[in-house]
Structure 1
């Protein structure tokens, strides 16, 4: 270990000795004389600094993704007593696996007995009538009109009670 320390010390002394040679003093004196005679030429001007691009974060003005889409007839949840009547053993239908906000009403089909709503989901048109289930929260079609479909949803509040809301899916024009 002492051999390594001796070699390191010798290398350090050799490096420091090279910095103080007569040649470096001559070059330093020459540079200082040039800088005194031509002060503007000896030092290069500082480069022009452009201000950094300012980024404005505009996401605060966007709609909260966890709230219903405005204009889609989203109602507010309110306390309900209807949840006690829900049939927990009922087989879930295919359309109950999707959020109501994904459905678009594209038209109606009517006959003498009933009016059916035509709802589009992921590019597929589904024909539904009053009483059919859809949406993740026990949604059930309450009424079908030529301009909108009203859906009634019920969800557990997690404390033994129930919340309900009624919302409408308006007819989408030019679909």
Structure 2
């Protein structure tokens, strides 16, 4: 039985090794003989020219200790001598940003007008001279429709600048 199986395998292998594809193999050999990969030559390397750094004596924008102030009068005490009084006791409305305080009304008693403002969940009565907001805002005038303030704001150079702000009456009471 073994001999029969061995004979069948040998005849099968002999049948597959025929010369019927020899012309195809020859054609492939002639086509691939001239095929070679073509690599373009490398580009010429440019020489690196170093540029000397000559700005050591210039002001370095990343080191604030080297920035020279152009005007010595623009220090923290400039601005017409206006600066906030850090020693006075803070009033309750100075804990709130001015944007979060709402004017909800006004009251006049004995020829003095008071403003009614809401900050957080509380209602406060304010008068001229009271402070409110986080920018040292002092109330300079109160009328039926608005409260006028003067604030002291420090700019980037340390100078204190005076700015005028106003709280407008919120129509409808705006109960939140």
TM-score normalized by structure 1?
0.51
Between structure 1 and structure 2, the one with the greater Rg is: 2
Deviation at 1:156, TM superposition (A): 2.0
Distance in 1 of aligned mates of 2:90 and 2:79: 22
Residue equivalent to 1:99: 97
Residue equivalent to 2:151: 153
* Bigger RCO of structures 1 and 2 (CA < 8 A, at least 6 apart): 1
Equivalent residue runs for 1:37-116 within 5 Å:
80-81=79-80, 83-84=82-83, 86-116=84-114
Distance in 1 of aligned mates of 2:143 and 2:86: 29
Deviation at 1:131, TM superposition (A): 0.3
Does the 8 A contact of 1:93 with 1:133 survive in 2? Answer: yes
Residue equivalent to 2:63: none
Point out where structure 2 has 5 or more consecutive residues left out of the alignment: 1-77
Does the 8 A contact of 1:82 with 1:154 survive in 2? Answer: no
CA 1:160–1:132 in structure 2 vs 1: closer, same or farther (change >3 Å)? Answer: same
Residue equivalent to 1:144: 142
Deviation at 1:87, TM superposition (A): 1.9
Query: Which has the larger helix fraction?
Result: 1
CA 1:119–1:164 in structure 2 vs 1: closer, same or farther (change >3 Å)? Answer: same
Point out where structure 1 has 5 or more consecutive residues left out of the alignment: 1-78
**Match status 1:163 vs 2:164:** no
Deviation at 1:82, TM superposition (A): 5.4
Does the 8 A contact of 1:83 with 1:155 survive in 2? Answer: no
**Cα offsets for 1:26-50 (capped at 9, x unmatched):** xxxxxxxxxxxxxxxxxxxxxxxxx
**Cα offsets for 1:118-166 (capped at 9, x unmatched):** 0011121100000000100101111001000111100222423112211
RMSD after superposition: 1.8
